[in-house]
Chain A
Amino acid sequence: MTAPITISLEVNGERVDTSVLPRLNLADFLREYLKLTGTHVGCEHGVCGACTVRVDGEIVRACLMLAVQADNASVETIEGLSDSGEIADLQAAFRDRNALQCGFCTPGMLMAAQDLLKQTSAPDREQIREHLSGNYCRCTGYQAIVDAVESTARARAGRTA
């Protein structure tokens, strides 16, 4: 039973049918099988948040999920969110506010920030900090990231008002 297992899932809207070893985690599957290297791998034990992706619409740690567990699921990565334009404004705000330096944490930060903005239209800084508290950044000191998320929330609220 350590043999490969067939799985069928959707990744960024495209059907993927393949077989994988049980020990392969979802982050490595995305990076190595599908060459979707925007999903980063830092700690591999759930602490840093660099591997955050969306599974069936909810953010999860891709390093703590087996690829075989994603059978029948719909997975969205940072590439999917970028290409669809869903987070174009958030990405622009990150650039404008200097909310990234090396960029290692950025894909996970964007996934987590977008998750918050979908659930809460006008989060305060405290809520932003809390929602991003599982994502580590070695470079920015977080202030600029919170600024970028806050200004995106304001701009989106203005647009829909």
Chain B
Amino acid sequence: MKASAFAYARATSVENALELLADQGDRAKVLSGGQSLMPAMNLRLISPELVVDIGGLAELRGIAVKEGILTIGALTRYVDLLKSTEIAAHAPLLADAVTHVAHPAIRNRGTIGGSLAHADPASELPACMVALAATIVVRGPGGERRIAAREFFTGIYETALSPQELLVAVDLPVAPRQSSHFFHEFARRHGDYAIVGLAAQAVINDGRFADLRLGFFAVGDRPLLAGAAGKLVNVAVTSSVLSEALSALADELDPQEDHQATPAMRRHLAKVLLARSVSELLSRPELHAGAFV
């Protein structure tokens, strides 16, 4: 199918984009990489009257590190994240995650801002943002807002953004020394949306977790920062400690049924990922082996 007719405006600056959006309200749609917007328009799931193309705005592009904060512009594409030495050094979890997003031709156009604004619960980057304690930077008619990633995602394809606002950047604390990460997803085929996935960021001291942030995705209507991680921090992780964390995780999950998996299957896979991440992050294979007997 083809998109229905719409008017098109190429924004010349963020200010200009905000003016166009302010005029049109929810009849307008922002176009970044188009890798989710265009399919939705081609399928006639949405038919905006105006498409505001922000693709040419250099001010929304680029990756910078300053005073312990990594700032990633909204228009930074997946392929830019994959190739960036700053990302590899300061947010290796993200670089790992991007290899699981879609396919090369789509990674050449899809952007971090588009992925976060789109807020598909099975998407990789929203869960990374939650795990990395990101701040989402938004600009609108009233100026700038800074929103913690945990508050930004509010439901399936729903975020704290209003139709008049632009997501301009994300800020991430650079990964501390002694930190490590784990990323894995179960998908039917590499590049497909996850059935269940986990983006985890940890700080490990003397074989114990000093900090552990577990961002699960495709297990609910938004990325979940698992409270179960609390059971594993500042304790010697034994198999019984791990079992407690696994049942705590099962309690806080509310997975959905779809054509890919039942809620029970998603719960099971999430537990497998939790056990696997703990054993890999602590380099203790016996923990995973023992978790499901």
Query: Which residues of A does B touch, CB under 8 Å?
Result: 1-2, 5, 21-23, 25, 28, 44-46, 49, 52, 58-61, 63-66, 68-69, 112, 115-116, 130-131, 133-135
Contacts and interface: CB of A to CB of B under 8 A. Distances in A.
Contacts of B105: 49, 52, 59-61, 112, 115, 134
Contacts of A135: 103
Most chain B beta carbons < 10 A, residue from A52, A58, A68, A134: A134
A74 to B, nearest CB: 14
12 contacts: A22-B5, A22-B8, A25-B2, A44-B42, A49-B103, A58-B108, A64-B35, A64-B38, A66-B38, A68-B8, A130-B190, A130-B191
A133 B9 contact: no
Nearest to A46: B39
Given A60-B108, A64-B109, 12 more contacts: A2-B5, A25-B3, A25-B42, A44-B2, A46-B39, A52-B105, A59-B104, A61-B106, A64-B35, A66-B51, A69-B53, A134-B106
Most chain A beta carbons < 10 A, residue from B3, B6, B53, B109: B109
Instruction: Determine the main DSSP class of A at the interface with B.
Output: mixed
Across the A-B interface, the 7 shortest Cβ-Cβ residue pairs: A134-B103, A1-B7, A22-B8, A45-B39, A64-B38, A59-B105, A58-B108
Given A1-B8, A1-B9, A44-B2, A25 B38 contact: yes
A133 B7 contact: no
Interface string B77-110: 0010000000000000000000000111110110
B9 A134 contact: no
B189 interface: yes
Contacts of B42: 25, 44-45, 63-64
B99 to A, nearest CB: 9
Interface string B1-21: 111111111100000000000
A83 to B, nearest CB: 22
B55 interface: yes
Contacts of B1: 44
Contact of A65 (B7, B38, B79): B38
Contacts of A49: 103, 105
A131 B8 contact: no
Contacts of A115: 104-105
Given A45-B39, A46-B39, A23 B5 contact: yes
A133 B189 contact: yes
A60 B38 CA distance: 13
B50 interface: yes
Contacts of A64: 34-35, 38-39, 42, 106, 109
Nearest to A49: B105
Contacts of A69: 31, 34, 53, 55
